[in-house]
Structure 1
Amino acid sequence: MTSAVHAFEPTKIVRSKGIGKEPADPLPRLLDQLVARADGMTTVEQATSRPWASALFDGRRHLVRLRISGVDFASRAAAFTQGIGEAEWTLPGHFVADISVDLSQPDAEGVMLHLSALTIQDW
């Protein structure tokens, strides 16, 4: 399980590096940008990444559970999800081919968002 607190400077978060000729996993940078988009008390509850390939492309499939909390969590969650599929992401060596919110689970303290994303290696 992976957790991240956005209060840290982006330079303090551990970045994965590629092994050999493999490019770095874009998940840490994507998590930074997701947390920044949520704008406030946000925690990455779980994040996984696995290789993905088609006949023409190589990439990674990512699953993320993000908790948005705080007094204004409902409006921040709505702003976060609106237009997420068309949002611009900065991932050196990769681009986001698809991203979506698959499930939204509100409770008294916040909302848990289940996201899936596909990043493709940019050649």
Structure 2
Amino acid sequence: MTSVHHGFGIKNLVRNKPIGKSHRDPLPRLLEQLLQRAGAPTVIERAVSRPWASALFEGRRHIVTLRLSGARAATRFRAFAEGIDSAEWQVPGHFVADITIDDSRQEADEWWVELSALTIEDW
């Protein structure tokens, strides 16, 4: 029987590690702030996020659907929508480069709001 010694130990093996600095997903923090801005009762009906990159930047593209309900839903929706594109968002490790309301509709005492946002890693 023949044995082979490769000349390297376990400490010399390459380990899978993230490359560069890795930030947590900004979506949970963004959702928290959107809920605060919308007021209660508000429900997140849908929230998806996917990677985004340009030649110079990396980030994530988010699509969120909220349902504002209650007797004051219309008033809360107007306050939510007013100035949303220029609002200050606190997202550690990222900044909100763009946020827009793509669609909104009223159903009885509820307002449905679909918005999209782009967060960029803050280097």
TM-score when normalising by structure 1: 0.83
Distance 1:88 1:122 in 2: 15
Contiguous gaps of at least 5 residues in structure 2: 1-16
1:25 aligns to 2:21 (yes or no): no
Which residue pairs with 2:5 in the alignment? none
Q: Tell me the SS of whatever aligns to 1:67.
A: strand
Distance in 2 (alpha carbons) for counterparts of 1:26 and 1:81: 21
**1:67 aligned partner, one-letter code:** R
Aligned residue type for 1:66: L
Distance in 1 between residues matched to 2:48 and 2:41, nearest whole Å:
21
Q: 1:54 maps to what in 2?
A: 54
Runs (5+) with no aligned partner, structure 1: 1-18
- Runs of 4+ residues over 4 Å off in structure 1: none
The one-letter code matched in structure 1 to 2:48 is T
Are 1:95 and 2:99 an aligned pair?
no
SS in 2 for 1:89: coil
Match in the other structure for 2:81 = 81
Question: Any residues of structure 2 matched to 1:60-75 within 5 Å, and which?
Answer: 60-75=60-75
Using structure 2 for the length normalisation, give the TM-score: 0.83
Sequence identity percentage = 58
- Separation in structure 2 between the aligned mates of residue 109 and residue 77 of structure 1, nearest angstrom: 11
